[in-house]
Amino acid sequence: MDTPIETIELGGVGLLRFLWRQLTSMRTALILLLLLGVAAIPGSLIPQRTQNPMKVRDYFIDDPSVASWMDRFSLFDVYGSAWFSAIYILLFISLIGCVLPRSFEHLRAVRALPPLTPKNLDRMELHQSWAGSGDELTAARAWFKQKHFRIREFEGAISAEKGYVRETGNLFFHLALILILVGVSVGALFGMKGEAIVNVGERFINIPTTYDSLSYGKLFNDASLAPFSLKIEDFQAKYDPLTNAPEDYTLRVSAIESPGSQAKSKVIKVNAPLSFGSTNIYLQANGYSPVVTVRDKNGAVVLQGPTPFLPQDANLTSIGAIKVPDSDPQIGFVSSFLPTASRDKVRGGISAFPEALDPKLLFSVWQGNLGLDRGIPQSVYRIDTSKMQQIGLHSLKVGETFVFSQGSITFDGFVPWVNLQVVRDPGKLYALLGGIVAILGLLASLFTRRRRIWIRVNQSSQVEVAGLAKNGAPGLDKEIAAFVTHLKKVEK
C-alpha cells in the first residue's frame, strides 16, 4: 500500500497529487489512528461541558486565566473541537482514499482467475517433488473442488487459490467504519435532545416550552418535534431495605402519539424507553415534589401545588425553593424535603431511606425581593436571599400548618417527579448497521487465510507441489501435507 515518495512535480496538480498520496498512505493512516487515540485522552481527564458543566464552571471560578487558556484550545469541548474533528476527518478521508480504490481492485481480482502456475515451483514455500503415477492432476482437481478452491489449469499445472473472503471482509470492515461515521453525523444534524421534569399527575406535551433544557441538531427545528403527549399516571420506585439501593423503577404513562389519536397505556423503565418513530423517551431520574398551600394574612391562597425538589444523596434528601412572587412583600421558603426524616450530627436533618416513610418538610421563611424580574436566569432550586430577611424557621409533617407574620404554609403532601429525557436520533440505525457489518468483516478478515497451492505434473509423471501463504498466515504446511497425503493415497 505504501507508495514510494516520488520527486515532486512542480505545479499545483503535482503537489495535490503528492499530498493525496501521502494522506492515503498506510503510514499516515497509522499515525492518524494513534493520534486519534491520544487526542481522545484529555477529554476523559478534564471535565467536559456536555457532561459536567458544573465542574467546568468550577475551573473558571478557581483559576479564570488558566481556564480561559484551556478554553481557547477547546479543552472543555474536546470531542466537538476543531482539532479533534480535524484528526478524524483526515483519517476518514485517508480511509476513503485507501479503501475505495482497493475495493475496485479486489472486485476485479475476485472475478479473475488465479495467476498462472510459476515456472520454478522449487523456489516457492513448502516445495515437494516425487515420481508419481500421472493421475495426480485429476485427483488434485477433485480435492481442490471439494475444498472450494478457485482453480486455473494450464499445460499440466493447476493454480488454486482460496481465502478471498479475507480481503472482502477487510474492505467491508473499513467501509462499515464510514457507515458508522455517516450514522453519527446524521444523528448530530437531524437529531434533538431534551429533558423535562414532570410531576406525577401532570401532562407532558412535546413542544419546546415544556422542556427544562433542549438542544437541536443543525438541521432540526421546532416543527420537526414529534407531536406526542404523555400523561404521567404513576411512578413506583422499589428499594432494597438493607442497602437502600434502588431495585426497580416503573413509570406508567398514557400516551397519545399525535393529536386526535387514542391514548394508550404504556410502561417506561430504565432500560426500556418508549418510542415514537425515531424519538425515544427515557426515564432518567426521579425525586419528590412537596405539595404546599401558602395563604396570606387574610387567609387567601397565594400558592398551591407541587414544587420539584432536587435530590442530594442516594436517600433522596432533597433541597428546593418554594417561591411566592405574587404576595406582597414576596415570600420564599428555602427548604429541604426528607422522605424518611432522620438526624445526622454533622449534616443536620437528612433522609434515612429513599422511600417516603416519614416525610418531613424543613424550611426557613424569607420575605423581601426574590429578584425574579432582574432578567438573570435563576436556579429553580435556590433563592437569592441577599435582598431578603429571614422571618421564620420550622419543620412540618404532612397535614400540618405553620403560621408566620405574613401568612401561613400547609404541607399537604408530596408527589414523585420523573426526569424524562427525549431523544431523536435518526442516524442510529446506520451506526448500528455499520457496527454489525464491521464485526462480521473483521471476523471474516482475521479468521480466513488467503493462500495458493500449485501442482504441476510433467511428461515423465514427476509431481511438484508448492504453496504461498499471504500475510504469513499459519497452517499452510498442514494443508499441503494433507493434500500430498491425499494424492499419494490415490496413486496406490
Partner 1 sequence: MTHSSWAYVSNYLIYSAMTVYTLAFFAHAYETAWAVRSPAAEPTQGNLLTKTLDYSRTEKVARIATAFMILGFLLLFAGVVARGISAGRVPWGNMYEFSITGALAFCGAYLAALRKYDLRWLGLLVSIAVLLTLGTAITVLYRPSAPLVPALKSTWLVIHVSAAIISGGVFLLANTIAAAYLYLDSMEQKGERKAWAKRLPSLEVLDQLSYRLIAFVFPLWTFAVIAGAIWAEHAWGRYWGWDPKETWAFITWVAYAAYLHARVTVGWRGRKAAWLCLFAGSTFLFNYVYVNIWGTGKHTYSGL
Give the footprint of ligand HEM on this chain (CB under 6 A): 1, 24, 26, 29, 33, 91, 94-95, 98, 170, 174, 177, 445-446, 471
* Binding string, residues 42-81; x marks residues near partner 1 by CB under 8 A: -xxx-xx-xxx--x----------------------xx--
| Adjacent-strand bridge partners of 402 | 409
| 189 binds partner 1, rule: CB under 8 A | no
| 431 binds partner 1, rule: CB under 8 A | yes
- By beta-carbon proximity to partner 1, the closer residue of 227 and 435 is 435
Longest dimension (CA), the chain: 122
Work out what residue 284 binds among partner 1, ligand HEM, none; the CB cut-off runs from 5 to 8 Å by kind: partner 1
Cβ-proximal residues to 474 (8 Å cutoff; 6+ apart), any chain? 449
Work out what residue 55 binds among ligand HEM, partner 1, none; the CB cut-off runs from 5 to 8 Å by kind: partner 1
Identify the helix (H) or strand (E) that includes residue 173. helix 164-190
How many Cβ atoms sit within 10 Å of the Cβ of residue 418? 24
Peptide bond just before 329 cis, omega within 30 deg: yes
Distance CA 185, CA 180 (A): 9
Work out what residue 482 binds among partner 1, ligand HEM, none; the CB cut-off runs from 5 to 8 Å by kind: none
Identify the helix (H) or strand (E) that includes residue 129. strand 125-131
Residue from 93, 423, 433, 468 touching partner 1 (CB under 8 A): that is 423
Which residue type is seen at 197?
I
- By beta-carbon proximity to ligand HEM, the closer residue of 33 and 151 is 33
- Asked whether the beta carbons of 444 and 165 are under 8 A apart, the reply is yes
Cβ at position 269, least distance to partner 1 in Å: 7
Peptide bond just before 259 cis, omega within 30 deg: no
Cβ at position 256, least distance to partner 1 in Å: 21
| 136 binds partner 1, rule: CB under 8 A | no
Q: Which of 209, 127, 137 is nearest to 476 (CA)?
A: 127
Residue from 13, 82, 245, 346 touching partner 1 (CB under 8 A): that is 245
Work out what residue 174 binds among ligand HEM, partner 1, none; the CB cut-off runs from 5 to 8 Å by kind: ligand HEM
What does the chain come to in residues? 492
Q: Which of 305, 281, 285 is nearest to 204 (CA)?
A: 281
- By beta-carbon proximity to partner 1, the closer residue of 205 and 433 is 433
Distance CA 423, CA 239 (A): 28
Cβ at position 428, least distance to partner 1 in Å: 6
- Asked whether the beta carbons of 424 and 348 are under 8 A apart, the reply is no
Dihedral sign for Cα atoms in the order 51, 52, 57, 60: negative
| 272 binds partner 1, rule: CB under 8 A | yes
- By beta-carbon proximity to ligand HEM, the closer residue of 38 and 242 is 38
Piece of 220-228, 373-381, 396-404, 421-429 that binds partner 1 (CB under 8 A) = 421-429
Distance of CA 168 to the CA centre of its chain: 28
| Adjacent-strand bridge partners of 320 | 335
Residues that bind partner 1 (CB under 8 A): 1-2, 26-27, 29-30, 33-34, 36-37, 40-41, 43-45, 47-48, 50-52, 55, 78-79, 184, 193, 240, 242-243, 245-249, 269-273, 280, 282, 284, 421, 423, 425, 428, 431-432, 435-436, 438-439, 442-443, 446, 471, 474
